[in-house]
């Protein structure tokens, strides 16, 4: 992928992530996150963070979106938008999950007002990523 999304595509992903964010379940941190993942087929899968009283059982919005896409047979991702109150960046586990499906995936972070905070590839977010090539 050449990471050349149009401004309209970026805004659509941010809007979808922002809408999804409204459905997040975050009663402990009150830090709601929405994600919208664009696949190479053109489909968009959204996700929200889902917290749990047993904190390790919590799952992030980015992984929900990826797992939904993978469960539908998608493996090639173009971009993901992540919307939080303050434009926070994906956690390390989410970066690793995204790396599994391509280091060139564009990651866009935006705040609650839709203002883009960062745009970078998974490779830029997770340099020297551990991947399938290390298991050969």
Structural domain contains residue 131:
no
Structural domain contains residue 107:
yes
DSSP assignment of 20-32: HHTT-B-TTT---
Amino acid 3: pLDDT: 55
Structural domain contains residue 51:
yes
Structural domain contains residue 114:
yes
CATH of the domain at 78: 3.40.140.10
Span 77-96, pLDDT tens digits: 999 999 999 999 999 999 99
Residue 72 annotated to the active site: no
Amino acid 4: pLDDT: 86
Answer whether 0.75 is exceeded by the pTM. Answer: yes
Amino acid 61: pLDDT: 98
Report, as an integer, the average pLDDT of 11-40: 98
pLDDT at 36 over 80: yes
The CA distance from 6 to 93, in Å, is 28
Structural domain contains residue 135:
no
> How many structural domains are present in the chain?
1
Structural domain contains residue 67:
yes
pLDDT at 1 over 70: no
Measure the N-to-C terminal CA separation of the chain; round to a whole number of Å: 25
Report, as an integer, the average pLDDT of 11-25: 98
pLDDT at 116 over 60: yes
Is beta strand 106-110 parallel, antiparallel or unpaired with respect to 116-121? antiparallel
Residues in the chain: 136
| Structural domain harbouring 49 | 7-124
Amino acid 75: pLDDT: 97
64 close to 48: Cβ distance less than 8 angstroms: yes
Paired with 84 in beta bridges are none
Structural domain contains residue 1:
no
**Other C-beta atoms within 10 Å of 4: how many?**
8
Amino acid 136: pLDDT: 85
Structural domain contains residue 133:
no
| Active-site residue, from 62, 72, 74, 78 | 62
């Amino acid at each position: 992928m050449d990471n050349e999304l149009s401004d309209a595509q970026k805004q659509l992903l941010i809007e979808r992530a922002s809408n999804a964010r409204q459905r997040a379940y975050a009663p402990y941190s009150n830090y709601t996150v929405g994600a919208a993942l664009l696949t190479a087929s053109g489909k968009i899968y959204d996700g929200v963070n889902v917290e749990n009283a047993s904190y390790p059982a919590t799952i992030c919005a980015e992984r929900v979106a990826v797992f939904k896409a993978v469960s539908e047979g998608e493996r090639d991702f173009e971009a993901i938008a992540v919307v939080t109150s303050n434009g926070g960046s994906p956690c390390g586990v989410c970066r690793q999950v995204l790396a599994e499906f391509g280091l060139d995936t564009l990651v866009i972070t935006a705040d609650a007002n839709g203002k883009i905070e960062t745009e970078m590839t998974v490779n830029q977010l997770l340099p020297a990523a551990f991947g399938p090539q290390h298991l050969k």
